[in-house]
Amino acid sequence: MDRIIIRDLLARCVIGINDDERREKQDVIINLVISADLSRACRTDRFEDTIDYRALKKRVVDVVEKSNFFLLEALAEKIADVCLETDGVREVQVSVDKPSALRFARSVAVEITRRRDG
C-alpha cells in the first residue's frame, strides 16, 4: 500500500476535561499516514489520479477547529472519519499530540489506525 504523509499539522481546538481546558482553544499537532493505491498517479503524473491532500488537510483543520472534545481519542477518531470519507483512502493512521498536557512532558499523543470497511 502506498502512503501520503502529512506531518506536524497545527490546529487549535477545545480539548480536555479540566475547566481551564474547556474555556480556551489549545494547540494540537496532527500527523496523518494515508494509505491508498497511488500507482496510477505514479504512472500518469496527473493530479486527477491522486488524492487531493491539500483539500483533505483543509477538511481536517476545519473539523478540528470547530470541535469540542474531552478526549484526544475522540478527536483522533473524528479525524480518521474525515480521512476515510475521501475517495481512494483505504486506511489512515492518525496521531494527535497535545503539547504541554502533562507537567515535565513535551506532549501527550494518541495514535489510532482505521480502515475503510469493504
Residue 48: per-residue pLDDT: 95
Quick one: which of 58, 68, 60, 62 has its CA closest to 26? 68
Q: Which residues are catalytic?
A: 98
Q: Does the pLDDT at position 44 exceed 90?
A: yes
Q: Does the pLDDT at position 100 exceed 90?
A: no
Q: Does the pLDDT at position 115 exceed 90?
A: yes
In CATH, what number does 2-115 get? Answer: 3.30.1130.10
14: buried, middle or exposed (CB in 10 Å: 19+, 13-18, 0-12)?
Answer: middle
| Average pLDDT over all residues of the chain | 96
Q: Which residues contact 97 (CB under 8 A, 6 or more apart)?
A: 28, 29, 30, 31, 107, 108, 109
Residue 110: per-residue pLDDT: 98
Q: Does the pLDDT at position 102 exceed 90?
A: no
Q: Does the pLDDT at position 97 exceed 80?
A: yes
Residue 118: per-residue pLDDT: 64
Q: Which residue is associated with the grid cell 494509505?
A: 35
Residue 4: per-residue pLDDT: 98
Q: Does the pLDDT at position 40 exceed 70?
A: yes
The reply to whether the predicted model has a pTM over 0.85 is yes
C-alpha cell at 7: 506531518
